Amino acid sequence: MEKVVSLCKRRGFVFPGSEIYGGLANSWDYGPLGVELKNNIKNLWWKRFVQSRDDMVGLDASLLMNPKVWEASGHLKEFSDPLVECKQCHTRFRVNEAWSDEVWWELAKKLEKAKVSDKEKLVQETLKECPNCGAKNKFAAPQRFNLMFKTLIGSAEGKASEAYFRPETAQGIFVNFKNVLDTSRKKIPFGIAQIGKAFRNEITPGNFIFRTREFEQMEIEYFIYEKDWKRSFDMWLLEMKDWIKEIGIDLKKIHEYEHPERDLSHYSKRTVDFEYDFPFGRKELYGLAYRTDFDLKNHEKASGQNLKYRDPETNEEFWPHVIEPSLGVDRTVLAILLDAYDDSVEGRVVLRLKPKLAPYKAAVFPLLANKPELTKAAREIYDELRKDFSVTWDDRGNIGKRYFSQDEIGTPFCITVDFDSLEKKDVTVRDRDTAKQERIEIKKLKEYLRGKLD
Ligand code: GAP
């Protein structure tokens, strides 16, 4: 993990947020290469799940929404973490994370039945020692902390009203369900997809970009007939696995985790997480949930607007049920980087990214920097390729160093223009993964690259 974090900083994938001011805890900024990788992931997802399918449309809703949305969705009441605080060092813990799920469930069961005055003692008896400062029996009774970020709309003193940044992109989809239905004329089963930022006041963020307070999600709400939910759930399990394969994550490191009933979110009847073997443990990468008709039903009740779907055959009106594949962009970036990082070859680091995800598809070099004829020819190739591909230029140091530098950022092909190129109109193309070199005609370069990107 340290090696990947260090590479990200050194080569411009991810920087600590607000670094010149000493940073802001757990905030991260994507640098020139990170933003390319992230955009490639999002574009691939959009192409695969929106543009290539007849049963899907896209949406881009606001981050700030009417606060009534969060009342209706249950987030104001339910979207909170129960935390215990050590009265000595004031560190707050999620019991399931600092101890284990089992310890938390046992404790939660006892707390449910206990009198308010007994709760503190119960926590102390169960948890005993603070994992941070070692203080014995200093825990306070658990308290719930809502995870939503509050802000104020309007600047006039006393007139500003409270609002929340969305904690999931999903609700933007539900509140636009009718608009999308009326304008796209889709028939169920169909889905609405959205990529965008979500905000959570996480109490225990950490592990680089794994858990942050501001992150990006790629979510689909897939609207179905209730009777089809099991079939649709299974279909999306397969779709998510195929996606994971497509982005080059080793399926051996992926584990499906079925949430036990007691652990389900307030809206879900079934949830399966795709967990990944991160260096800091097996943790959630993505989630798939059966949200029933919970959201549309509640938004209809709260807004007074009819959010039902009219079946074109039977004319029956009902709230469609929903299957929700929810994917974190930042966790995808992290898993991809961890999987691609390879320092097993003596003396060099190779980022074995899938070529279609690599920030640069190719690097173009003149063999020697001080020969204007080579620079001119290389520059022409570079300018032509950049019309169709993300490519980079390098004429510093020797060829070996340039290869090393491109390997480390995952550039799959290095194109060198030498003296033979001027006569024979071909170039050397060196493959990142095999380190093999071959001569390719300049006029066939685009076709060559295109063939390698699928
Ligand atoms: N709409 C459902 C939903 O939001 P979730 O399991 O809370 O479900 C979905 O979040 C995905 O969003 C997670 O699987 C993860 O990839 C990502 N995610 C959630 N919280 C995150 C955080 N604090 N930092 C980074 N990614 C996060």
**Would you say the CB of residue 200 lies under 6 angstroms from ligand 1?**
yes
**Would you say the CB of residue 329 lies under 6 angstroms from ligand 1?**
no
pLDDT digits (tens, 9 = 90+) for 231-241: 999 999 999 99
Atom number of ligand 1 nearest to Cα 213: 23
Q: Could you tell me the residue ranges of all domains in the chain?
A: 2-75+151-340, 81-146, 350-453
Atom number of ligand 1 nearest to Cα 167: 4
Torsion from C-alpha of 137, 141, 144, 149, nearest 10 degrees: -50
Residue 265 Cα to ligand 1 midpoint, Å, equals: 12
In angstroms, rounded to a whole number, what is the distance separating the alpha carbons of residues 232 and 116? 44
pLDDT at 159: 67
Distances (CA, A) of 260 to 101, 102, 235, 264: 11, 12, 21, 7
Question: Given ligand 1 and candidates 97, 256, 327, 331, which is best to mutate, with the most ligand atoms within 8 Å of its CB?
Answer: 331
Residue 327 Cα to ligand 1 midpoint, Å, equals: 7
In angstroms, rounded to a whole number, what is the distance separating the alpha carbons of residues 412 and 432? 5
At 41, give phi and psi (nearest 5°).
Answer: -65, -50
Residue 119 Cα to ligand 1 midpoint, Å, equals: 31
pLDDT at 13: 98
Residue 330 Cα to ligand 1 midpoint, Å, equals: 10
| 350-453 and 2-75+151-340 share a CATH fold | no
DSSP code at position 140: P
pLDDT at 158: 67
Q: Is the pLDDT of residue 133 over 90?
A: yes
pLDDT digits (tens, 9 = 90+) for 31-87: 999 999 999 999 999 999 999 999 999 999 999 999 999 999 999 988 877 789 999
Lowest-confidence range among 15-24, 80-89, 371-380, 391-400? 80-89
How do beta strands 362-366 and 341-342 pair? unpaired
The β-bridge partners of 287 are 273, 326
The whole-number average pLDDT for the span 303-325 is 97
Atom number of ligand 1 nearest to Cα 211: 24
Tell the residue nearest (CA) to atom 22 of ligand 1.
Answer: 211
At 277, give phi and psi (nearest 5°).
Answer: -80, 85
Domain 2-75+151-340 superfamily per CATH: Bira Bifunctional Protein; Domain 2 (3.30.930.10)
| CATH number assigned to the domain covering 350-453 | 3.40.50.800
DSSP code at position 51: I
User: In sequence order, what are the residues at sequence separation of 6 or more whose Cβ sits closer than 8 angstroms to the Cβ of residue 173?
Assistant: 59, 61, 180, 192, 194, 219, 221
85-90: Cβ within 8 A, 24+ apart: 85/139, 85/140, 85/143, 86/130, 86/132, 86/133, 86/135, 86/138, 86/139, 87/135, 87/138, 87/139, 87/140, 88/130, 88/133, 88/135, 88/138, 89/130, 89/132, 89/133, 89/135
What do you get for the CA distance between the two ends of the chain, in Å? 29
**Would you say the CB of residue 207 lies under 6 angstroms from ligand 1?**
no
**Would you say the CB of residue 228 lies under 6 angstroms from ligand 1?**
no
The whole-number average pLDDT for the span 354-380 is 96
Atom number of ligand 1 nearest to Cα 271: 6
Residue 90 Cα to ligand 1 midpoint, Å, equals: 27
Tell the residue nearest (CA) to atom 12 of ligand 1.
Answer: 328
pLDDT at 410: 98
In angstroms, rounded to a whole number, what is the distance separating the alpha carbons of residues 363 and 408? 13
**Would you say the CB of residue 212 lies under 6 angstroms from ligand 1?**
yes
Tell the residue nearest (CA) to atom 20 of ligand 1.
Answer: 211
Helix residue spans in 310-393 (DSSP H)? 329-340, 372-385
Angle between helix axes 329-340 and 32-46 (nearest 10 degrees) is 110
Q: Is the pLDDT of residue 156 over 90?
A: no
In angstroms, rounded to a whole number, what is the distance separating the alpha carbons of residues 280 and 284? 12
Atom number of ligand 1 nearest to Cα 169: 1
Question: Given ligand 1 and candidates 282, 284, 295, which is best to mutate, with the most ligand atoms within 8 Å of its CB?
Answer: 284
Tell the residue nearest (CA) to atom 17 of ligand 1.
Answer: 328
Q: Is the pLDDT of residue 250 over 80?
A: yes
pLDDT at 434: 93
pLDDT digits (tens, 9 = 90+) for 319-359: 999 999 999 999 999 999 999 999 998 889 999 999 999 99
Q: Is cis: bond before 205, omega within 30 of 0?
A: no
Question: For residue 110, what are its two tokens?
Answer: 């006892």
Q: Please, what is the average pLDDT of the chain?
A: 94
Q: Is the pLDDT of residue 203 over 80?
A: no
Query: For the chain, what percentages of helix, strand and coil (3-state, to nearest 5) are there?
Result: 40, 30, 35
pLDDT digits (tens, 9 = 90+) for 402-451: 999 999 999 999 999 999 999 999 999 999 999 999 999 999 999 999 99
Neighbours of 304 (CB within 10 A): 7
In percent, the amount of the chain with pLDDT more than 70 equals 99
Residue 65 Cα to ligand 1 midpoint, Å, equals: 19
DSSP code at position 85: E
Q: Is the pLDDT of residue 160 over 80?
A: no
> Whole-model pTM?
0.92
Lowest-confidence range among 88-102, 184-198, 276-290? 88-102
The whole-number average pLDDT for the span 305-330 is 97
Question: For residue 21, what are its two tokens?
Answer: 């001011």
